[in-house]
Amino acid sequence: MASLFTRIIDGELPGRFVHSDDRCVAFLTIAPLRPGHTLVVPRLEVDHWIDLDEESAAHLMVVAHRIGRAQVRAFSPARVGMIIAGMEVPHTHLHVVPIESEADLNFANADHNASAAALDAAAEALRAALA
């Protein structure tokens, strides 16, 4: 069965995409730690990031770097943090998060009630910063 992220990539489920290429996509999470919290996900469904081939792993990092720089332009955070956890969805994904402190990287603080309007605004700001 396809992972949740594969279903988003394939268009079966909605996603707020800010990047797409032949190897990976980046879209906003529906439960952000901070506005602009983006997931960088390979198109290939690989559960654990250490099982990615080196070229794919490097490409994800390059895209995460671009997303992080765009988050700085769009949201003016103190820093951009990145987490590779992979516990909830068995499909490699990099969390790229604009943060004010390390406390902002606590998944217990995820906003599970983020409004569609807030997510859309964050996605639009990030797309504009990427352009």
Which H or E element spans position 38?
strand 38-42
pLDDT digits (tens, 9 = 90+) for 56-115: 999 999 999 999 999 999 999 999 999 999 888 999 999 999 999 999 999 999 999 999
Q: Nearest-CA neighbor of 44 among 13, 3, 12? A: 3
Distances, alpha carbon 63 to alpha carbons 6, 67, 96, in Å: 18, 6, 10
The pTM of the whole model exceeds 0.85: yes
Q: Nearest-CA neighbor of 71 among 104, 47, 48? A: 104
Euclidean distance between CA atoms 88 and 71, whole angstroms: 24
- Domain 4-130, CATH: 3.30.428.10
Domain residue limits, the chain: 4-130
Any idea what DSSP says for residue 42?
Answer: E
